[in-house]
Amino acid sequence: MVSPGQLYLLAVTVMALVALAAAAPVLLGIAREGRERLRRGGPDLPAEPDESGESADSSDHCCRHCGAENEGEFAYCRECAGPL
Ligand SMILES: [Zn+2]
């Protein structure tokens, strides 16, 4: 005869095994992602921009007031705050 205590222990063990089996792929995926990030060199940073593919018309990104280079998406110069 199985006592209630043993039955409870069996049920808890089965549930723990089922939970572990369900969580194993997720944990393995997290571990794999972490290893890949370490291999890439640290935190999840965006890829470095390719300097070789610089566009020819860089005049659009240069401030016409002070000549400072600005990113294409900005509307105002980061040096003199003039409109680009
Ligand atoms: Zn400027």
How much distance in Å is there from the Cα of 47 to the middle of ligand 1? 27
Give me the pLDDT at residue 44, please: 58
Give me the pLDDT at residue 58, please: 45
Give me the pLDDT at residue 72, please: 81
Surrounding ion ligand 1 within 5 Å at CB are 63, 65-66, 68, 77, 79-80, 82
pLDDT tens-digit map of 24-50: 989 899 999 989 988 887 655 566 666
Sign of CA dihedral 39, 43, 44, 49: negative
Spatial separation of the C-alpha atoms in residues 16 and 8, rounded to whole Å: 12
pLDDT tens-digit map of 55-80: 444 446 788 899 999 888 888 999 99
What are the residue boundaries of the structural domains of the chain, listed by start?
1-42, 56-84
How much distance in Å is there from the Cα of 68 to the middle of ligand 1? 5
Beta bridge partners, 62, equal 69
How much distance in Å is there from the Cα of 55 to the middle of ligand 1? 20
How much distance in Å is there from the Cα of 75 to the middle of ligand 1? 11
